[in-house]
């Protein structure tokens, strides 16, 4: 149980930092901190579900970024999706395969 909590917190923090870095590097409109924590928290929690969790997290991240935050698909959206997906895949592998 504690591995899930640690994985959730680590995924949330790393994903939020990654999204913030991408916004700064590409010159995109910064995402407010509260929205950033809610988006990454929801998606990090979904990514920990077995089997379909990673896919659900990617779908929700794309919907929330493109619809709610109005992020441009290229290059900000792609960079955000790829970086967060890698983080969640690594953390999910760590939790499930030890």
Please answer whether residues 22 and 55 qualify as being in contact, where contact means their C-beta atoms are separated by less than 8 angstroms: no
The first and second tokens of residue 60, run together, are: 């929700």
Give per-residue pLDDT as tens, 4-63. Answer: 999 999 999 999 999 999 999 999 889 999 999 999 999 999 999 988 899 999 999 999
Domain definitions of the chain by residue range = 2-97
In this structure, what is the dihedral angle of CA atoms 27, 33, 36, 40, given to the nearest 10 degrees?
130
pTM: 0.90
Distances (CA, A) of 33 to 30, 86, 92: 9, 22, 24
pLDDT value for 10: 95
> Rg of the Cα trace of the chain?
13
Q: How many residues does the chain have?
A: 98
pLDDT value for 94: 87
pLDDT, mean of residues 56-79 = 93
Q: Quick check: 93 pLDDT over 90?
A: no
């Amino acid at each position: 149980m504690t591995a899930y909590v640690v994985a959730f917190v680590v995924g949330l923090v790393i994903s939020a930092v990654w999204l913030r870095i991408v916004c700064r590097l590409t010159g995109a409109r910064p995402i407010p901190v509260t929205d950033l924590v809610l988006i990454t928290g929801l998606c990090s929690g979904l990514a920990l579900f077995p089997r379909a969790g990673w896919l659900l997290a990617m779908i929700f991240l794309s919907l929330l970024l493109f619809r709610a935050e109005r992020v441009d698909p290229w290059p900000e959206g792609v960079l955000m999706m790829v970086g967060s997906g890698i983080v969640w895949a690594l953390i999910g592998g760590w939790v499930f395969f030890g």
